Structure 1
């Protein structure tokens, strides 16, 4: 993510801002231009952008629920924005706390779509492909003995348990499962990794190449999952995997690595927006020095990204510890994991190159 600037007064803005606190203008995100535009009402529900395009826009219909600040061209027949049109099931807003839970879901999902669009990845909505990317946000049944909603992916349908929007419940689950990291944004990034395995690997002719890096995806998934929960992770798993859950099956290894690629790209973009540099005085080798000036969405090898990310992650982890918090990025990137991340990078950028031909 990057920092934005109010086109009217120059105030620095964040992605979720809906009003400029300096000049008072309403704000809306234009995904096609990647700008957070200051707006003035233009009648009939339309708003004129004060950015250079000066175009007329309408808000996504989900703006009335205060869960979206994205804009649609005024002449468009669409009522939902490029992120919200992927929703298949939203929470029952008559239930207490449902709207706030949905807002948290949409904050994470809109950040996901910001990245997917910046990476120029395919994002087919309902009616646009045989396997569209759609989301169900589902609450657990009211009876405590009923089956709980499981977060997961199935042929383009991503289900996110609404309970994950409850910070206390999500932390309880994180601790119970022994996970160092569990967030809504992490769930979205992981589950969409399964979707892009289908699109870019299975349907993209990259199966043999992917198997050479991640292993045999034809292994029985149910048996692999059962083995993981009954026997635990293999010894020395961090030498080859980004997380304990990645050891379950090649599909989960790919999805976990995909999520971490998006983590790294997003954090480096924000580090660049803040002009971050890391130059510790005690570092005699220069291994912990980095300048966050890499173009994370541009062409090129993965090596500059990882060379920049590791020192910055080390510095951020150290700052978190000073506040008595756990590490911001509590993961070890072994050479084998870096190789997997580099594969994801090539996969994404090869798709970009093909899309521009």
Structure 2
């Protein structure tokens, strides 16, 4: 994530902020520029250049505190991220509405990365078969008193998230119950969208054989594999080959877990770099001086990432908190990360915008770094 400031007064602001605490200007994030714009009246947001581009806030600003912008002349009322919603909770239920706001905040973190990578993300209205959509559902009490549970998962481009995951205490209870070292809303989104991009970047691109050589044969019975995992647990030596124990359940889950982890690494490195943090490797300290979204190889990323995780964990321990990064990168995992890295970078190169087209300042930097 990049570092943001108020366009009006220059005060430091954050990705999820809707108002500047210093000058009270309305804030809006413009995704194609990856810039935070501001407007005193909250109506018209002007680009910080001479092109005259004007933007307005997403219609979900009041319901979900969505601070994303879209062009003022766009016939859509929802921003690039919100228009992918298929089902949202009953907003008359204040508790459900609050959980949805937390979920939407995490979803925007996901979409920040998808936009940075220019990954395909048509809505179901644009492409019913290959579109991406989200359903945010609450467990239901049936007439007989039983509870119909909605599981978080992915099926044919539809990602379902149980809104209970938006409750920090409930999510922690589930993490402990399932003996997971890490469970976050952002992690859920990055994992589930990994399944979607297996379809788009592996299957659609005819790269199944290359995938199978690293992750295994995805044609193995998925239901049976998950049942085996829950009944018997992961292999004793799972950490030698997988980023998490759950990744060992099935090749699809291995891909989704690794995809999510690649997102964690890249976005966290961008955050560290934009704040000027220095990392130490082999006794030498240096800044993360490249854009991890568009530059650097996987060895470059890992060389920056590993010492950064050591620092993050040490700070957490100083605060009496568990390790922020409870993972170990084995060589097989690094090879899988390299596969996902190439999938994304290859897609970027194949969809590069012709040089003669008009580019915003952010996209100018983006394309020049490829």
Question: What TM bracket, shorter-length normalisation?
Answer: over 0.9
Cα deviation, 1:133-171, whole Å, max 9, x if unaligned, reads 000000001356323110000000000001111111110
Q: How many residues align?
A: 349
In 2, are the aligned partners of 1:62 and 1:68 still within 8 Å (CA)? yes
CA spacing shift, 1:96–1:19, aligned 2, 3 Å = closer
Structure 2 match to 1:21:
21
Cα deviation, 1:120-145, whole Å, max 9, x if unaligned, reads 10111122122210000000013563
Cα deviation, 1:276-335, whole Å, max 9, x if unaligned, reads 1134xxx8x43x855322311124421111110000001101110111111111001011
Q: Does 1:337 align with 2:333?
A: yes
Structure 1 match to 2:135:
136
Q: Does 1:88 align with 2:86?
A: yes
Give the 3-state SS of the residue equivalent to 1:356 in structure 2: coil
Worse-superposed segment, 59-68 or 186-195? 59-68
In 1, are the aligned partners of 2:141 and 2:148 still within 8 Å (CA)? no
Mapped to 2, the partners of 1:116 and 1:308 lie a distance apart of 22
How far apart are residue 216 of structure 1 and its match? 0.8
Structure 2 unmatched runs, 5+: 354-370
In 2, are the aligned partners of 1:86 and 1:135 still within 8 Å (CA)? yes
Structure 2 match to 1:263:
264
In 1, are the aligned partners of 2:290 and 2:296 still within 8 Å (CA)? no
Q: How does 1:229-308 map to 2 (within 5 A)?
A: 229-279=230-280, 285-286=282-283, 289-308=285-304
In 2, are the aligned partners of 1:240 and 1:336 still within 8 Å (CA)? yes
In 1, are the aligned partners of 2:164 and 2:170 still within 8 Å (CA)? yes
How far apart are residue 5 of structure 1 and its match? 1.6
Give the 3-state SS of the residue equivalent to 2:94 in structure 1: coil
- RMSD value over aligned CA atoms? 1.6
Mapped to 1, the partners of 2:255 and 2:285 lie a distance apart of 30
In 2, are the aligned partners of 1:8 and 1:50 still within 8 Å (CA)? no
Q: How does 1:143-154 map to 2 (within 5 A)?
A: 145-154=146-155
Structure 1 unmatched runs, 5+: none
Worse-superposed segment, 72-81 or 151-160? 72-81
Q: Does 1:33 align with 2:16?
A: no
How far apart are residue 205 of structure 1 and its match? 1.4
Please report the TM-score for the alignment, with normalisation by the length of structure 2. Answer: 0.91
In 1, are the aligned partners of 2:279 and 2:304 still within 8 Å (CA)? no
How far apart are residue 34 of structure 1 and its match? 1.2
Runs of 4+ in structure 1 off by over 4 angstroms are none
Mapped to 2, the partners of 1:48 and 1:96 lie a distance apart of 30
How far apart are residue 85 of structure 1 and its match? 0.3
Please report the TM-score for the alignment, with normalisation by the length of structure 1. Answer: 0.94
Mapped to 2, the partners of 1:299 and 1:323 lie a distance apart of 33
Give the 3-state SS of the residue equivalent to 1:241 in structure 2: coil
Structure 2 match to 1:204:
205
In 2, are the aligned partners of 1:40 and 1:49 still within 8 Å (CA)? no
